[in-house]
Amino acid sequence: MAGVFIALLIGILLSAAYFTTDVHIQSSMERESAQQAFYAAETGLEMAVFELRRNNKWTPPAGQVTITHGGAAASTGFYTLRVAPAPAMPAFPTFPSVWVRSDGQDPNKEITRTILARLLLFNPADFFVSSLADFRLGSGSWYHGDLLGRDIYFEVNDSLPDTDPDKKIVVDGNVYYFRNVYGDGDPNVQFLKDTPQPFASITFPGIDASRYRDLAQSGGLYVVGDYNAPLNITRASVGTGNGVVFAEGNIHISGQYDESLLFVAGGDIYLTGDLIASPLMVPKPQLGLFAKQDVIIPSASPSSMTVEAFVVADGGGASYGQLDAQGTKYSKDTFNFNGAMSLRGLQDDGSVPRTAVDLNVYQNRNYQYNPQLTAACTIPFISFVANVINWEEINPNDVWPPP
């Protein structure tokens, strides 16, 4: 009788152990599925950010997207994306934002987890000058357009008399900064719009070299080394059907352009003389100059120059991502710029040059923003800023778009 009781007890204990183990296994599998679903939702959000930086009008594919890794046949999860306009944010009333919703599922589609994000989305040419680094604005300069930088320094030349108009720094636009602003209280610094105000940090748009290389090789002009642009710049004279020129080395350019084009250099871009849009074309064409390193005005360039373009300097390699005029300070006459600039001004280790824009070779510097770069941009295949301002995990049953 005792043996039967012992056998029965052992059976009960074994059954309990098997049940407990099964519960633990089931719980572990549910946790893993929940984690896989969350990773799938994050993958979808990252894909949306990537695509919106290439095209701010991008719409997600209909239905679920299957996630695989390393060429594996089996799925590691699924995501479904939705994008919709969001109301203006009180902190950034002039910049558009969008909602992005990513519903992720595990490989067995047992668990759904949902991420809702809000992205600030704009053309980097919305600012006349933008940089992750510092700006030092000196006497004799007049800025027509918004400025965005890390620290903004207004440096007045006190050796000049107050009656000298070249002593003044005039900004006809808004000034935004990430950290601090200095010298803005000097009476020789004039703001024709609002006084400087802080701004949330942004992701630098950068230059996707592989993207532009592919575009140049599949309908544009691809150059293995350096490239010297013709003085009469058209798609026909350059030899690009889609308007993109990509050179692995440096680009040297000056002259007049009759059509909207984009020049991308794997190295530096050298502005060797006047670079202007044809006055005969209506609307005026636009030119993009994207350098993976720096944009440079060499010392041999003319004493007075006019440049009309959207300039991007990415700061690759040992460069900082600057617009830099070479030569002795104030040794040249006048520099006129019409367009916009987006300059990284940083190395990978976070070190910075003295300023992202150094054009002090010129005694007079006149800067004019081209609002058409925002209102009606015609530069082919321009990149955008898509910054995740906030995100949260929500219930998959929550309404879309958010109220």
pLDDT of 34 above 80: yes
Residue with token string 């994008």: 83
Q: Report the C-alpha gap between 294 and 276 in whole angstroms.
A: 20
Q: Could you report the per-residue pLDDT of 46-87, keeping only the tens digit for each?
A: 999 999 988 888 999 999 999 887 555 567 899 999 999 999
| CA-atom Rg of the chain in angstroms | 28
pLDDT digits (tens, 9 = 90+) for 73-131: 567 899 999 999 999 887 777 778 899 999 999 999 999 999 999 998 888 888 899 98
Spatial distance between the Cα atoms of 131 and 291, rounded to a whole number of angstroms: 14
Q: What is the pTM of this model?
A: 0.81
Name the token pair of 392: 């949260």
Q: What is the pLDDT of residue 9?
A: 55
Q: Residue 389's pLDDT band (boundaries 50, 70, 90)?
A: confident
User: How far from chain centre, in Å, is Cα 340?
Assistant: 14
In the chain, where are the structural domains located? 2-122+390-394, 125-383
272 pLDDT higher than 50: yes
Look at residue 5 in the predicted model and tell me its pLDDT: 54
pLDDT given at position 142:
86
Q: 158 near 138, Cβ under 8 Å?
A: no
Exposure string of 87-109, with b = 16+ CB inside 10 Å and e = fewer, is: eebeebeebbbbbbbbbbbbbee
pLDDT in tens, 193-238: 888 988 877 777 789 999 999 999 999 999 999 999 999 999 999 9
The pLDDT, as a whole number, for residue 23 is 46
Tally of CB atoms within 10 A around 13:
10
150-166 per-position pLDDT tens digit: 899 999 999 999 899 88
Q: Note if the bond before 380 is cis, omega within 30 degrees.
A: no
Is pLDDT at 144 greater than 90 in this prediction? no
Question: Considering Cα of 159, then 162, then 153, then 343, what sign does the dihedral take?
Answer: negative
What would the pLDDT profile of 302-354 be if each residue is shown by its tens digit?
A: 999 999 999 999 998 889 999 999 999 999 999 999 999 999 998 878 888 88
Average pLDDT, the chain: 89
The reported pLDDT for the residue numbered 184 is: 94
Position 288 scores a pLDDT of 97
Please write the tens of the pLDDT for every residue from 166-192: 899 999 998 999 899 999 999 999 999
